[in-house]
Amino acid sequence: MTVPALTPEQLLEAADRVGLSLTEADVDSYLGLLAPYIAAYNVVDALPDNLPEVKYPRTPGHLPLPAENPRNAWYVKTAIKGAPTGKLAGKRIAVKDNVMVAGVPMMNGNAILEGYVPDIDATIITRILDAGGEIAGKTHCENYCISGGSHTNAKGPVHNPYKMGYSSGGSSSGSGVVVALGEVDMAIGGDQGGSIRMPASWCGIVGMKPTHGLVPYSGIMPIEIMVDHTGPMTANVKDNALLLEVLAGVDGYDPRQFHEKQPGTLDYTAGIEAGVKGMRIGVLKEGFTHPNSEADVDACVRAAAEQLRKLGAVVEEVSVPEHLLAPALWVPIGTEGIAQTMMMGDGYGASRRDLYVTSLIDKLHGWELRADQLSETTKLLTVLGVHMKKLYGTRYYGKATNITRRVTAAYDAALAQYDVLLMPTMVMKATPIPPPDASRELYVQRALEMIGNTSPFDITHHPALTVPCGMSDGLPVGMMLVGRHFDEAKLYQVGYAFEQSGDWKKRGPAKQAAAKKAAAKPAARKR
């Protein structure tokens, strides 16, 4: 598209937006001075874009009918075959619908983006295919990923795999469901406030939010660079470690990657069976008994900690008071990031090296004309972010970022004493999906009420793994393990040891109470 010269009216409008008063003589002067700069834009416009090659053939797939999608977990089903051999040979992988797969539709849960077809594969898609994996399709996610519930997608709610009418968690809602139902072996999720771990917990699967920047975010629609993470969701711990081995490492595009860890060199499966004997596990005091905590969830996770003690770990309570402060710090970072990067920045913003997919920018630009089609959560946080920017600039974003360093140091101090920290992933079980006529208050509550334990580690960037640890009222409960930066291997070691120690579906408060009651019965007398 050619960039035309400014008209006098356009120049005056732009000047007015930044508070300039121009005379007629100023307008003539500006128009003349700007001409060579507009010419430079047209040089850029005429050049071919410099985007990664798409390596593997594919078709757009199909939108599944309700009969093959009863929980509304899938957006598109397809079958993109990768290399004939590799670590993921024979594995079928589902992809959260904020991740670009060339030639396959993407809407990121929102009607505004519907009809968009990416022209590149995200780095992680190329890595999966190079490793022999098959892309099975795109899974529904929450509306622009702004929800920890599963009720905000423009195509309707995603239902829990264990209980229809209940939330599967979000925002990687569909990814959690299709893994739990065994429809795929693995899935990709994204995590800015807990969006891998929350659906993994409520769907009874394993989810890893890696250290920030370990897995490249290139080719994935951002929310905010400070909190953007992507990672694996799987039915078991070993598969999770295997997929992370394929995904991790620098790609030369992503500015979130300050490390130099090379793709294909990271091994998370080698020591996974080493056990936990002698390991030190800190049960985080502040991760329990929140105002919205459910007693059965706390009890289930404490029982899991006790099981790790039986396996030989040293398990002690540890206090990090800053944990209760961290969710408040997430608010300015997440809210202003959503408004300035994803919304006003057309999905990217500026001022950083990145892989800018201009077709996505073009599709998002002008979203304000259809703003009423945004979810209530996206509307709410966008309005707040725009308001704060106008009145205070980026003051609170900056201050929250500064204070986050203190919170990070507090976790680091605890992790200097303990190998991992342990707490509930979410302090409540899956909640009922709000009805279509729900009030805005209930809609927002069900989207954001559960992030107290997950959101802190999106701003401090520590790796966090959720592992299912029991059932209560027919719904899964997740245990979260948090480790030192880039020490994902230790989290997998602990998670695997717990997983192998018994069937998590047979654990839980009701099961524990029954076992205690049976143990307390006097032995029957011999006749």
Q: Answer whether 429's CB lies under 8 Å from 297's CB.
A: yes
81 catalytically annotated: no
Is 127 found in the same domain as 205? yes
Q: Can you tell me the distance from the alpha carbon of 229 to that of 95, in angstroms, rounded to the nearest whole number?
A: 14
User: Residue 523 domain-assigned?
Assistant: no
User: Residue 382 domain-assigned?
Assistant: yes
User: Residue 3 domain-assigned?
Assistant: no
Is 251 found in the same domain as 158? yes
Report pLDDT digits (tens) over 231-255. 999 999 999 999 999 999 999 999 9
Report pLDDT digits (tens) over 419-472. 999 999 999 999 999 999 999 999 999 999 999 999 999 999 999 999 999 999
Structure tokens at 370: 């259809």
Residue 348: predicted pLDDT: 93
Is 127 found in the same domain as 18? no
171 catalytically annotated: yes
Is 107 found in the same domain as 24? no
96 catalytically annotated: yes
Is 31 found in the same domain as 89? no
Q: Answer whether 151's CB lies under 8 Å from 434's CB.
A: yes
Q: For residue 404, what is the domain's CATH number?
A: 3.90.1300.10
Mean pLDDT of 492-512: 91
Residue 509: predicted pLDDT: 78
User: Residue 233 domain-assigned?
Assistant: yes
Report pLDDT digits (tens) over 143-174. 999 999 999 999 999 999 999 999 999 999 99
Report pLDDT digits (tens) over 319-328. 999 999 999 9
Mean pLDDT of the residues in the chain: 96
As for how many domains the chain has, the answer is 2
Residue 517: predicted pLDDT: 66
Is 244 found in the same domain as 139? yes
Is 249 found in the same domain as 191? yes
Is 240 found in the same domain as 209? yes
User: Residue 73 domain-assigned?
Assistant: yes
What letter does residue 3 receive in the DSSP assignment? -
Torsion of CA 495, 496, 500, 502, to 10 degrees: 10
Is 177 found in the same domain as 217? yes
Q: For residue 396, which amino acid is it?
A: Y
Q: Can you tell me the distance from the alpha carbon of 152 to that of 173, in angstroms, rounded to the nearest whole number?
A: 10
- Count Cβ atoms within 10 A of the Cβ of residue 440 and give its class: 0-12 exposed, 13-18 middle, 19 or more buried: exposed
Is 80 found in the same domain as 36? no
Residue 519: predicted pLDDT: 61
Q: Per mean pLDDT, which range of 156-160, 185-189, 241-245, 505-509 is the poorest? A: 505-509
Report pLDDT digits (tens) over 256-294. 999 999 999 999 999 999 999 999 999 999 999 999 999
374-398: b or e for each residue (b if 16 or more CB lie within 10 Å)? Answer: bbbbbbbbbebbbebbeeeeeebbe
Phi, psi for 134 (deg, rounded to 5): -115, 130
**Is the pLDDT assigned to residue 206 strictly greater than 80?**
yes
Q: Which of 147, 168, 172, 195 does the annotation list as catalytic?
A: 195
Residue 525: predicted pLDDT: 43
Query: Percentage of the chain with pLDDT > 70?
Result: 97
Q: Which of 167, 171, 201, 455 does the annotation list as catalytic?
A: 171
Report pLDDT digits (tens) over 354-387. 999 999 999 999 999 999 999 999 999 999 999 9
Q: For residue 14, give its domain range.
A: 8-46
Report pLDDT digits (tens) over 342-361. 999 999 999 899 999 999 99
User: Residue 84 domain-assigned?
Assistant: yes
Is 35 found in the same domain as 113? no
Residue 223: predicted pLDDT: 95
Is 91 found in the same domain as 14? no
User: Residue 212 domain-assigned?
Assistant: yes
Q: Which of 77, 91, 96, 363 does the annotation list as catalytic?
A: 96
User: Residue 61 domain-assigned?
Assistant: no
